[in-house]
Amino acid sequence: MTQLILEQALNGLQFGLMLFLLAAGLTLVFGIMDMINLAHGSLYMAGAYLAAAATQASNSFVVGIGAAMLATAILGALLEITLLRRLYARNHLAQVLATFALILIANEAVRMIWGAQPVPLNAPDALSGPVNIAGFFYPAYRLLIIGVGALVAVLLYVLVTHTRLGMWVRAGASNREMTEALGINVRLLFTIVFAFGAALCALAGAMLGPLLAVQAGMGESILILAFVVIVIGGIGSIRGALVGSLLVGIVDTLGRAALPSLLSLFLSPEVASNFGPALASVLIYLLMAAILFWRPEGLFPARA
């Protein structure tokens, strides 16, 4: 039982850190630009497809990830310059409608290029086996995902809080007019932030591709979780995105693993096995509702 709990806790940590890669870019765009971008999940999908194509072409998973991040960052920058920049002054309804249209366009585009069937993306052979951790075996590739997610979280924290670029980003979020008056090109800064968020999406898509199916529409379900994360953590807060991602990942994973067994004590095994996963999915939204009841601005709201 202890090994099961430890395994599911590590799975939740891995899933939470991958959610953080999406939520970090989303909370930067939402908190700094005041832009609701429903197409954020489409960038995650594009990153997974580009990683699969680059990996097949180069026979290198590392090259595939690097190429996907670069290509998706360029795609994100072009998208921001050509379309999203025109939506900053619009209301949120116009932003939702425009970016929802981008979801439909992106899904049909990948079907036209790669077809309707899932595209294979395999982890490196060296990471295909388990690792012995004090007598407990855990997949090596999932440990790599945990390590990459933790490293990106640390680097992103340092970038935002201890560099000049991070200072400009925080200043642009607090007072755009004053930042521009000080000589900072906020328009270019916003493009860089959006491209950086797109690259993080590509990294998440490429890392999760070997575990999940790389297929059209894969970004919608995880986008919902990313919005839940930034609402829990606080819009515009990197620290909040990290804490919210870990909470959602662990609650979802442990809930799916433990609830069927707990419910079987009171219900029939068949009912418990069917009702448990559904109740686990509801737990995330109950968590969000409880946090919003006590802290409407989220756990770590961004402050000027």
pLDDT at position 136: 75
Whether 54 shows a pLDDT value over 90: the answer reads yes
Quickly state the pLDDT bin for 304 (edges 50, 70, 90): very low
pLDDT at position 12: 86
Nearest CA to 189 among 217, 164, 165?
Answer: 165
> 25-39: per-residue pLDDT in tens?
788 777 677 778 888
42 against 167, higher pLDDT: 42
Whether 171 shows a pLDDT value over 80: the answer reads no
45 against 115, higher pLDDT: 45
Whether 303 shows a pLDDT value over 60: the answer reads no
What's the pTM?
0.87
Quickly state the pLDDT bin for 78 (edges 50, 70, 90): very high
Question: Quick one: tokens of 11?
Answer: 């799975």
Rounded Cα gap, residues 38 and 101, in angstroms: 9
Whether 240 shows a pLDDT value over 70: the answer reads yes
In degrees and rounded to multiples of 5, residue 128 shows phi and psi of -80, -15
The segment with the largest mean pLDDT, out of 179-193, 252-266, 286-300, is 286-300
pLDDT (mean) for 269-280 = 74
Rounded Cα gap, residues 255 and 259, in angstroms: 5
SS3 191: helix
pLDDT at position 157: 84
Nearest CA to 212 among 40, 41, 25, 1?
Answer: 41
pLDDT at position 167: 82
Whether 182 shows a pLDDT value over 80: the answer reads no
Terminus-to-terminus CA distance in the chain, angstroms?
Answer: 46
Residues 229, 248: contact at Cβ < 8 Å?
A: yes
CA 59 to chain centre: 26
pLDDT at position 172: 72
Rounded Cα gap, residues 291 and 180, in angstroms: 36
pLDDT at position 277: 74
Cα Rg, the chain, nearest whole Å: 20
> 190-234: per-residue pLDDT in tens?
888 889 889 999 999 999 888 888 888 888 888 888 888 888 888
Concatenated DSSP letters for 213-267? -B-TTHHHHHHHHHHHHHHHH-TT-HHHHHHHHHHHHHHHHHHHHHHHHHHTTTS
> 113-164: per-residue pLDDT in tens?
998 888 888 888 777 777 877 677 888 888 888 898 899 888 888 888 888 8
